Amino acid sequence: MQAARCPTDELSLTNCAVVSEKDLQSGQHVTVKTTPNHKFVFTVKTHHTVAPGSIAFNDLPLSVSSVSNYNFDKSKQCIGAMTIEIDFLQKKSTDSSPYDSDKMAAEFIQQFNNQAFSVTQQLVFSFCDKLFGLMVKDIEAMDASILKGEPASGKKQQKIDIGLMVGNSQVIFEKAENSSLTLVGKAKTKEARQTIINPDWNFEKMGIGGLDKEFSDIFRRAFASRVFPPDIVEQMGCKHVKGILLFGPPGCGKTLMARQIGKMLNAREPKVVNGPEILNKYVGESEANIRKLFAEAEEEQKRLGANSGLHIIIFDELDAICKQRGTGASSTGVHDTVVNQLLSKIDGVEQLNNILVIGMTNRPDLIDDALMRPGRFEVKMEIGLPDEKGRVQILTIHTNKMRSFNLLALDVNIKELAAETKNYSGAELEGLVRAAQSTAMNRHIKATSTVEVDMERAEKLQVTRADFLGSLNNDIKPAFGTNQEDYSSYIMNGIIKWGDPVTHVLDDGELLVQQTKNSDRTPLVAVLLEGPPHSGKTALAAKIAEDSQFPFIKICSPDKMIGHSEISKCQAIKKVFDDAYKSQLSCVVVDDIERLLDYVPIGPRFSNLVLQALLVLLKKAPPKGRKLLIIGTTSRKDVLQEMEMLDAFSTTIHIPNISTGEQLVDALELLGSFTDKERASIAQQLKGKRVWIGIKKLLVLIEMSLQMDPDYRVSKFLSLLRDEGA
């Protein structure tokens, strides 16, 4: 038969072979062999204008060599699923409207029901008054059990080259490469998208300790929508989360978390960018660097649409490039334009749905507000200091290898170490393990004229409990922990319980510590210790703080702020409180408040900036789940009353001076400074008399008297007491 032109436009859209009534009948199927050696099966339609001996096709050219009858085996050759590549027939008639592939598939089955199709066959399809060029990519046979009216067998169906379209066939459209066509609907892709979670991933081996809750929260917010089938996500009108911001103290696992997210996901290797690397001295280069990061994701989204894989971009030290706009002092405003470029790329006019940007910073307060809104870095997760359970996990992770090779001594108790390492960050715990390892190794090194390893003993190398405890006490100290040197200098002489007033103060302090620990209604407890100068207020405050055993204790003292300007003093005080908020339980001692305020009675003059900062910080509740005890000390309660500062404290405890001769003798006895005979003489002199002296001043007078000849010590002491007006 000779190839001829299709008689009408309508017939050219039917995908049928058109012949004369004298040659074949409508509905028959024929095999058409073409040159070069290809074979297609067509369904026949007849038309009176076609000459006998001719066969007409649609406008797509075919060179016919022979035509023969074809009979379908309906048990094996019905189409179960057919994948079709689609594009606009004419490039000039392209448009950007989205086409629903579900409706398209229904229309296709209606138009071409009971017709034959062959793999690589090309045809024209009319939908919504637009012409599309189609090419059959793949045909799967229908499950034979469905044809018999039984439930599907679940077996994988075999691929066939020629099939017959039936009413319950499935048609899947795929966009042709480099096509500008936009498809929506669940039938747009044949393959279920690659599962986003790496199949070899094991959550238990991820090596992140103490961050289980944070990781599950990130997973819920950022990945749940990506794990679900795309059609359900589309029906919900759900957009994927594009940005995660991890913030918190240094060394708590932000970078580790980002690294593990990259490994966990079945995505390309994450692009890791250190903030400062983006900046360039040439104008426009910094912005170009941002564009390069997103170029690959943009290109893939244009090419593959919804099938595009996930691109992960990790920004370390995000605050280096995303500072608040308008705060930079430079004339070029590079920081501002870099922020603008990043804003437009993550969630601008042309949206990318195949990116996940993970930012990390210790200073979320520096980052531009526009980056923090939903649609950009909308999942904000604080990676804080690990709790005791988390510390057990972290120490277990870092000692696993040693344990497996029998290098960890049996006396090492991980739970004991976790209890001892309050407020240690993950990095500090890793440092502790390293320090213990180096201590153990050091035992097996011969330090002679040359340094060499004692190989005989090295084979018995084991890291012991003593190595860990030695490193804990000497080598590694937590950045957000208690520095014993901070408060030990204030109580170097111990607490002298010269009478009931001192015992009452310590008992009240213990009550406030218990309230801070146990009460959920009062996460912030502030107490003011007030009393005359030298009455031992600071020592009592330091003692209450020490006895609390809180993991974070800090003394905010004027002696560390000598010569500071008002602004730098405010910043130093604020830093103490900010550090305290990072710990589960904290105690801040604000010592000698009138000195912090620069108060002098002449004038009078004081620093209003520091006063306002203290008023705010004393009333500011710590973040949820954190507890804070503030202990203030002052010798000028009347001044704080005038400044309306007393209201900022929950309660006030009065610290009195020693007021009777009996109390003074009790103090001398506790100090053990004079002999029994000398103390009896002093008691005789002071019997029934009122005295008024602070314990701190008393210590100075005693030490001064003790430098005298033993015969004159008592008289000198009494003389000094009189001189002091006590």
* Catalytic machinery residues: 537-538, 591-592, 619, 696
Quote the CA–CA distance of 160 and 83 in Å, as a whole number.
12
Residue closest to 367 by CA, chosen among 319, 325, 333, 335: 319
Quote the CA–CA distance of 12 and 24 in Å, as a whole number.
18
Quote the CA–CA distance of 709 and 650 in Å, as a whole number.
50
Give SS3 for 509: helix
Quote the CA–CA distance of 470 and 474 in Å, as a whole number.
6
**What string of DSSP letters covers 589-635?**
EE--HHHHTT-BTTTTB--HHHHHHHHHHHHPPPPTT-EEEEEEEES
Quote the CA–CA distance of 138 and 191 in Å, as a whole number.
12
Q: Check whether the bond before 374 is cis (ω within 30° of 0).
A: no
CA angle 473, 402, 412 (to 5 degrees): 45
Residue closest to 81 by CA, chosen among 174, 176, 194, 190: 190
Alpha carbon of 526 to those of 237, 513, 640: distances in Å? 50, 10, 15
Contact status, residue 58 vs residue 7, Cβ threshold 8 Å: no
How many other β-carbons are positioned within 10 Å of the β-carbon of residue 357?
A: 27
Unique residue bearing structure tokens 């602070």: 694
Which stretches of 312-425 are DSSP H helices? Answer: 334-347, 388-404, 414-420
130-141/79-88 β-pairing: antiparallel
Quote the CA–CA distance of 616 and 526 in Å, as a whole number.
13
Q: Check whether the bond before 364 is cis (ω within 30° of 0).
A: no
